[in-house]
Structure 1
Amino acid sequence: MTAVVTGSKIKVHYTGTFDDGEVFDSSRQAEQPFEFEVGAGQVIPGFENAVVGMKAGETKQVRFTEEEAYGPYNQEMIFDADPSQFEEGLSPEVGQQFQTQMQDGTPLLLTVKAVSDDKITLDANHPMAGKALNFDLEVIEVG
């Protein structure tokens, strides 16, 4: 049986939880397992590293530190924007998320942290930054 190596195209089922046991994502509700190419940067680094060496049918439970997942929470990624920068008629609310692009075209998710008459406070951290993540992994297919 072929083991997963960098460049393998694999199919996996996974369930991701926080340390308190709350499920944040699972491929098991989908009709198809999650597919990606190992080493192509399509998933968080810890996930890629965890599947290397596994074979179809194998399962594994792993825990990723914040560095292996979405990185530490960075206070410098919180900033204030002028309400005039938003489309006319748009009323941002706390918790609302907007997707924009960085100058290089990389997508960036912004979360509204606070709203006042003269400013909107936005957070550019990934929503799971600063959190350790746990995964139950099952390799379904190695190609």
Structure 2
Amino acid sequence: MTEPVVVTDNSTVILHYDLTLEDGTAADSTRVNDKPAKMVLGDGSLTVNFESCLKGLKVGDKKKFTLPPDDVFGMPNPDNIYHVDRTKFGAEIELKEGAIVGFAQPDGSDLPGIIRTIAGHSVTVDFNHPLAGETLIFNVEVLDIVD
């Protein structure tokens, strides 16, 4: 009888996750569109503590864990908040607080920014991740492990 494959340091893990804030508010879920996430441990894209929560799990295992901001999206960085003149926005863009606006980067990609405040001709745009500063609760289900 062979031992079941478990998540280790260099595993590629296919999983579903449900992500909630401490107050129970749903923040994200791969189940909404039935598109599981693929995560590669050891590639530098995940924090050490996040990876350690997955290690040892087997296909079919479910686990709930809570991670502080530094182990997920970090703390908001005040250097990622900009004041932009209202005239820099195209007429087709409806400016309202809470709106997410894409800003074209030199490489052609878009960088999303959240409109925080509008005061006269000044628009405050926050380029921090929307979940920066949040403690997050993960409910994961391992669907496959590729070593």
Give the TM-score band, short-chain normalised.
0.7 to 0.9
CA separation of 1:124 and 1:20: change in aligned 2, threshold 3 A? same
Amino acid at match of 1:80: H
Matched, 1:141 2:144: yes
Matched, 1:73 2:76: yes
Residue matched to 1:127: 130
Measure how far apart 1:30 and its partner are: 3.0
CA RMSD of aligned residues (A): 2.4
Per-residue CA deviation, residues 85-143 of structure 1 (Å, 9 max, x unaligned), is 21244341111112235567775321001113321111111111110000111111101
TM-score between the two structures when normalised by the length of structure 2: 0.81
* SS of equivalent to 2:71: coil
Amino acid at match of 2:142: V
TM-score between the two structures when normalised by the length of structure 1: 0.82
Aligned pairs for 1:78-117 within 5 A: 78-100=81-103, 108-117=111-120
Unmatched 5+ stretches in structure 1: none
Number of equivalences:
142
Per-residue CA deviation, residues 25-84 of structure 1 (Å, 9 max, x unaligned), is 122233343223333355x52544422232112121110100001111223322210112
Percent identity of the aligned residues?
Answer: 27
Matched, 1:56 2:76: no
